[in-house]
């Protein structure tokens, strides 16, 4: 990709047959005749990509220090959702890392 030296716009490939040149779409500036050009770049594709297979339930929420009322664990997963009007605080949800007990706190 080349840019116009006059106005900075992208230069377009113009011409017919064997006579090709670069021309600016905005100010009509023409650049020298192009004898060789590439329309796309080559990209190497891996024919045998390795895909990691994860079995089971993978938790994606961050862990925070929070006491579980069921098992007395001190770690829980955390997420927050806006469950009420936009001018009220969001609802915080927790899930115990050990026993998977879930609860919410409205602030």
b/e code 53-71 from CB counts within 10 Å (16+ = b)? eeeeeeeeeeeeebebeee
Catalytic residues, which ones?
87-88
Flag whether 53 is in a domain: no
Average pLDDT over residues 86-107: 90
- Assign 36 a pLDDT band (cuts: 50, 70, 90): low
Confidence grade of residue 51 (pLDDT, cut at 50, 70, 90): confident
Rg of the chain taking only CA atoms, in angstroms? 30
CB 96 within 8 A of CB 68: yes
| pLDDT over threshold 70, residue 58 | yes
Residue 55 lies in a domain: no
High-pLDDT (> 90) share of the chain, %: 29
Structural domain range at position 92: 63-106
* H-helix or E-strand spanning residue 79: strand 75-81
Q: Is the pLDDT of residue 6 over 90?
A: no
Average pLDDT over residues 31-56: 70
CATH of the domain at 74: 2.20.25.10
SS3 57: coil
Total domains in the chain come to: 2
Does position 104 have pLDDT exceeding 80, yes or no?
Answer: yes
**In-domain check, residue 56:** no
What integer pLDDT is reported at residue 11 of this predicted model? 82
């Amino acid at each position: 990709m080349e840019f116009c030296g006059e106005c900075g716009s992208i230069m377009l490939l113009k011409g017919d047959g064997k006579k090709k040149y670069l021309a600016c779409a905005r100010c009509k500036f023409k650049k020298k005749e192009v004898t060789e050009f590439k329309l796309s770049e080559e990209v190497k594709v891996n024919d045998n990509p390795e895909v990691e297979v994860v079995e089971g339930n993978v938790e994606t929420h961050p862990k925070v220090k929070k006491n579980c009322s069921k098992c007395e664990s001190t770690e829980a997963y955390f997420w927050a959702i806006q469950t009420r009007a936009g001018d009220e605080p969001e609802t915080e949800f927790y899930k115990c890392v050990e026993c998977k007990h879930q609860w919410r706190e409205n602030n």
